[in-house]
Amino acid sequence: MFEKVLIANRGEIALRIHRACREMGIKTVAVHSTADTHAMNVRLADETVCIGPPPARDSYLNVAAILSAATITGADAIHPGLGFLAENADFAAAVEEHGFVFIGPAPEHIRLMGDKIAAKAAAARLGIPTVPGSSTVRDLAAAEPAADAIGYPILIKAAAGGGGRGMKIARSRAELAQMLPLAQREAEAFFGHGEVYLERFLERPRHIEVQILGDGQGGVVHLGERDCSLQRTHQKVIEETPSPALGPDERDRIGALAVGAMRELGYRSAGTLEFLYQDREFFFIEMNTRLQVEHPISEMVSGVDIVREQLRIADGAALGYRQAEIRLSGHAIECRINAESPDDFRPSPGRVTDYHAPGGLGVRVDSALYQGYVVPPFYDSLISKLVIHGRSRSECLMRLRRALEEYVIGGIETTIPLHQRLVDARAFIDGDYDIHWLERFVGRNR
C-alpha cells in the first residue's frame, strides 16, 4: 500500500480522504491556498504545501504546483477528491506521466465520460437507455430540425457541462432561438468552449444515480441507488438511499445494467451513473468519474468505505468480493449544508463563532468546520454534510429532525433552517417529489 498520498483538494472532502488514509496507515500531504492555511485538513495532515493565492486557478487548479508539491514531499499517489481537477483527464494523465499513481479512473474513461455527447453514445453502445437527443448543434439552422425531430420541450445542454451550467429549456421554436445563444455563451464561460446539444425535456422525472466500484480487472459491484431529486438550480440539496420511488425489481434492473456496462468498459475506481426516471423508465444522462459529494449515504447502507476502496484499487488490488456479498441495510439521508442565507441563498462567508455538531446513533457529520474557523468567500459554499442512517425511512426522518435541531453553526448564515422546513413538508415525508419540486417549494415559502 502507498506510504504517502497527496490530497489535491480542500474542505470536508480533503478531511474525509485524510481520515481514510490515516486509518490505513498512510501519511498525507495537504496542499492549500493561502486562504486555507488554517483549514482542518491542513492542521491534521502529516505535511503541508502552500500552492498559491486564494483564486482556484492559481492554486487548486494549478497542475504544475500540485505536481511540484508531490515531488518535493515524496508522495506515491495523488487523490483529486471531487470538483477542481477530479474529472480532468489531462491532469490524470499528467499525474501518471510524472510517476505518481492517480487515485481514480483511467484518463481515457474520464475523457470519454467528460464529453456528454460521447458519453451518451458510449452508454447506448453498452446497452444503457438514453434520453432522446441530438449531436452537437452549432447554430439555429442545425438546432431547429433536431428539436423538431426530438419533440418539444427541449433541454439545451453544454457538451462539457455539469452542475446545471450551460443548461436552458425551450418549449417552442421561438424560445429555442432565444435560449440557444444564452446556453452557448454560458458553456463558453464555464467550460472553455460553447458546444451544446439537445435533449428531450422530461416534465416530472426523478434523478436516480447508481454508485459503482470497479477494479479494472473485471470486478464490478454497485452499492445501490441514490435519489438526488431534491435540487435547486440543478444543484443537489438532499439525497437519500434507497429511493422511495423504486421497487425491488426496478432497483435490481438498474443496478445490474450499471454493473454490466462498467464491466464491459473495464472501469476502475469509484464512479456514478446518473439517470432520469419517469413512468418506470430510466434514461442515462451522464457519468461522474469521481467520488460524489453524496457518497456517505451509500457507505451507511452498504458498510463499504468507498474512499478506502479507491485507495486499494489504485494500488492494484482486486475488489475481493462479489455483488451477492453486498448487503444493503436500512435507509440513509444526506443534507448538504451551505454557508448561505436559507431564504435567498446569498453566500454567507465569515467566522464561525459557535459550533456544535449533532451526534448519537446513526448520525455522521462530514465537515471541516470548527469554532473560530473563517469560511472563505472564494470557493463552493458547501460547509457540512449531515448524514443520517436508520433501520427504516421513517426512523431516518425522525433522527434527521432531531439532529437538525441539535446542529449549531453560529456567526454565519446556513441552510439548516431550509432543511428543517423540508423534513416537515408533506411531499418529502411521503417521498412524492421530482427534480422540479424543490424550486416550487422554495418559491411558495419565500
In a domain, 49, yes or no: yes
pLDDT in tens, 97-154: 999 999 999 999 999 999 888 998 999 999 999 988 898 999 999 999 999 999 999 9
Give me the chain's average pLDDT, please.
96
Same domain, 279 and 383: yes
The domain total for the chain is 3
Share of the chain above pLDDT 70, in %: 99
Same domain, 361 and 425: yes
In a domain, 400, yes or no: yes
In a domain, 351, yes or no: yes
pLDDT in tens, 357-402: 999 999 999 999 999 999 999 999 999 999 999 999 999 999 999 9
Domain, as residue range, for 234: 206-444
- Judged against a pLDDT cut of 80, whether residue 161 lies above it is answered with no
- Judged against a pLDDT cut of 70, whether residue 439 lies above it is answered with yes
Same domain, 428 and 285: yes
Same domain, 46 and 172: no
- Judged against a pLDDT cut of 80, whether residue 14 lies above it is answered with yes
* 341 grid coordinates: 442565507
Note the pTM of the prediction, 2 decimals: 0.90
Same domain, 277 and 413: yes
In a domain, 190, yes or no: yes
| Phi/psi of residue 375, nearest 5 degrees | -75, 115
In a domain, 117, yes or no: no
**pLDDT given for residue 163 in this prediction:** 64
- Confidence at 232, pLDDT banded by 50, 70, 90: very high
Same domain, 227 and 312: yes
Pairing of strands 382-390, 133-137: unpaired
In a domain, 365, yes or no: yes
Tell me, what CATH number does 26's domain have?
3.40.50.20
Cα gap 197→159, rounded to integer Å = 6
19 catalytic? Reply is no
Same domain, 182 and 215: no
CA angle 19, 20, 23 (to 5 degrees): 85
Same domain, 83 and 213: no
User: Which residue among 10, 290, 336, 399 is the active-site one?
Assistant: 290
pLDDT in tens, 399-421: 999 999 999 999 999 999 999 99
Across the range 42-68, mean pLDDT stands at: 98
Last residue of a domain, one of 200, 227, 251: 200
- Confidence at 191, pLDDT banded by 50, 70, 90: confident
Q: Where are the beta strands (DSSP E) in 323-424?
A: 331-338, 350-351, 354-356, 363-367, 374-375, 382-390, 408-410
In a domain, 111, yes or no: no
Same domain, 286 and 160: no
**pLDDT given for residue 203 in this prediction:** 87
- Other Cβ atoms closer than 10 A to 57: 9
Same domain, 372 and 437: yes
Same domain, 89 and 73: yes
DSSP, res 205: -
User: Look-up: residue for cell 443548461?
Assistant: 167
Position 308, amino acid: R
Tell me, what CATH number does 297's domain have?
3.30.470.20
Residue 314: enclosing H or E segment and its boundaries? Answer: helix 306-314
Same domain, 98 and 165: no
Tell me, what CATH number does 158's domain have?
3.30.1490.20
In a domain, 341, yes or no: yes
